[in-house]
Chain A
Amino acid sequence: MKTDGSECDHEPEQITDPTFDILYQKYQNAVFSFACYLTKNRGDAEDLFQEAWLRIVKNMPEKVNMLSIKAWIFTIVANLHRDGLRKKRIRRLFLLKKRMSFEKENSLFPAMPNIQISNSSDEGSQAEMGKDITQALAKLPDRQRRVFVLKEIADFKQAEISDILGIPVGTVKSMMHRAVKQLQLELSKYHTKSQYKGK
C-alpha cells in the first residue's frame, strides 16, 4: 500500500482498510468456491460473491477476532444465498421451472489438471473420483450440499455449521449423514465392495 504518494504525484491517494485487505486476501477464494457450490452457476456465484463482500464490509466489526471471523463471513454468504433462494422459490410459483443441465453446472469447476494424473493409478482414479464428486454434489438437495461443503471443503466442525446456518447440531448431523450416504451411493463404482442400498 502506498502511503506517501512520492512515486506519482498525480495519482489520488488510495486509503485502504488493512483489516479488509487481510480478510479479502485470505478468504476471497474460499468465499467464491462456497458461492459456486451453493449456486451451481458461475454467474450467480459472482453476484453472490460481490453482494457478500459488500455486506461483510458494511457489517465488519471494529475489532476483528480472527478465530471466529471465518465462520462470520460464511454465515453472511449462506444467509444471502438462502434469502435469494426464497425469492427464487416465490418466482417459481409463477414461472415454469427451468431445469439446468449438470454439464452446465459443472462448467464452473475447472477441468481436472493433467498434473494430477501421475503414474500412480491410485492418484489417477482419485482425480477421476474428484470429478465425479462434483457431479454427485450438484445432485444433492441444497440443504445437504450446504452442510457437506461447509464440513468437508470449508473445514468447519458440525457445531460451527450449526451456528453458521442457524439450525440445531442434530439437524446438521442428520443432513451430513444423508449427504454422505447419497454420495457413497452415487460413487459406488469406486468402492471395493459396494453394498449401499440407499437410505
Chain B
Amino acid sequence: MSCKDIERLIIDSSDKDLSLEELDVLEQHVAFCTNCAHFRENLEKIRASIKTIPQPIPSPDLVEKTRATCQAELRTPNNRVSPYDHKG
C-alpha cells in the first residue's frame, strides 16, 4: 500500500469500520513510516483543536422567530408531505 492509501486509512479509522486486516496493515506501516506517523499525529492535533473552537450559535431572536414560523406552518392543515409516504 502506498502512503496515500495509508493516509486514507488513517482518516477512515475514525469511522471505526476498518477490518482487522486493514488495521494491521495500517499499524505496521505507521510503525516504520515517519511521514504517515506524522500525518496521523497532526490529524489528531487538528481534531483536538477543533473541539476547542466555540461553535457559532443562532441569536435568541432568530431561534424564536424560526420556531414561531415553523409552529404556524405545522398548524396549517395538510402541510406535511412525508418523504416516506410513497412506501405506503
Contacts and interface: CB of A to CB of B under 8 A. Distances in A.
B25 interface: no
Contact of A184 (B42, B67, B79, B84): B42
Contact of A58 (B11, B39, B80): B80
Given A58-B81, A173-B8, A190-B45, A134 B58 contact: no
A20 B74 CA distance: 9
B58 A49 contact: yes
B81 A59 contact: yes
B75 A15 contact: yes
Contacts of A116: 52
A183 B11 contact: no
B46 A183 contact: yes
A152 B44 CA distance: 11
B21 interface: no
A18 to B, nearest CB: 11
Nearest to A127: B52
A53 interface: yes
Interface in A102-147: 108-113, 116, 123, 126-127, 129-131, 133-134
Interface residues of A, number: 60
Contact of A50 (B38, B69, B82, B83): B69
Nearest to B67: A24
A73 interface: no
Interface string B46-88: 1111101111111000110111011101110001111110000
Interface of A: 14-17, 20, 24, 28-29, 32-33, 36, 42, 45-46, 49-50, 53-54, 56-62, 72, 108-113, 116, 123, 126-127, 129-131, 133-134, 151-153, 157-159, 173, 176-177, 180-181, 183-184, 187, 190-193, 195
